Structure 1
Amino acid sequence: PFKDMIEGMRMDLRKSRYMNFDELYLYCYYVAGTVGLMSVPVMGIDTDSQMPTEKVYSAALALGIANQLTNILRDVGE
């Protein structure tokens, strides 16, 4: 995820508008989904959790992307 985050920063420098949701989603993955993925090892997974590790990472990715989409929507009026 570290290299993907750097790619997202490069995208941020090159482009500020995305033509469709797929492009926007990819950007959100690069700049925020990667943060979600990198946060899992930092915060850890409860050893008593019944949730498979793959689902934990999937949820962390979704949360990161959702946070970025929320930030973008918040800035639309500016």
Structure 2
Amino acid sequence: DWWEHGNFYQVYPRSFKDSDGDGIGDLDGVTEKLKYLKDIGMDGVWLSPIFSSPMADFGYDISNFREIQTEYGDLDAFQRLSDK
């Protein structure tokens, strides 16, 4: 299977690509860079935490698994990324 032998790129969205100029990377920024990641040989993206969090430990302290941290976008942004 592809995931057993694929190349994955771990992305911390906050510092990866800012799509809206607010100084914080976001899911739309990740979506914008997918072609680049594919061009350098990546088969998949491993997202660091993107869910709602008090951000005491870089987002790993998730407070709601059903909400995207607002700085990163919303469920629509996540859907756009997932659709790619």
TM-score (norm 1): 0.29
Larger helix proportion of the pair: 1
Structure having the larger proportion of residues in strand: 2
When normalised by structure 2's length, the TM-score is 0.28
Per chain length, whose mean CA-contact separation is higher, i.e. which structure has more relative contact order (CA < 8 Å, sep 6+)? 1
Is the radius of gyration larger for structure 1 or structure 2? 1
